[in-house]
Amino acid sequence: METSKVKSVVRNQAEAKLNQLEQELRSLLENRSKKKLFSGALTRAGISSDDLMSNVEQEADNSKSNSEESDVVLKNQQMVRVQQMATVEWIQQKRKDKDSADDM
């Protein structure tokens, strides 16, 4: 009785593993097929994979540059806001000083 249960468990585990491996193989074959189709389309369009990678790298560099420029703009805007707040506080203090001088 125990032997048949063990055999059944082992058989179920083996079948599950086989199903998993078959699914992984199908997925790999599908991805390989997609890559071949894409590569063939690039070739027909006269685009090399090196050209494509160069364009991708250029876009990444442009994106990084734009990000750095945005950071600089943001920091400048923050500095302007701080200066504006300091100016407002200075003006308010001057008004308070004037008002207290007028009260005397």
Range of the domain at 18: 1-47
Quote the pLDDT of residue 19. Answer: 85
Q: What is the mean pLDDT of residues 33-37?
A: 73
Whether 57 maps to a domain, the answer reads no
Confidence of residue 52 (pLDDT cuts 50, 70, 90): low
| Alpha carbon distance 38, 29 (integer Å) | 14
Distances (CA, A) of 46 to 2, 41, 49, 56, 57: 66, 9, 10, 17, 19
pLDDT attached to residue 69? 77
In a domain, 20, yes or no: yes
Domains of the chain: total: 1
Q: What tokens appear for 86 in the block?
A: 């300091």
Pair of tokens at residue 31: 């991805």
**Is the pLDDT assigned to residue 85 strictly greater than 70?**
yes
Q: Is residue 56 part of a domain?
A: no
Distance CA 46, CA 71 (A): 38
> Residue 3 domain-assigned?
yes
Note the pLDDT of residue 2.
76
What pLDDT, on a 0 to 100 scale, did the predictor assign at position 83? 85
pTM of the shown model: 0.37
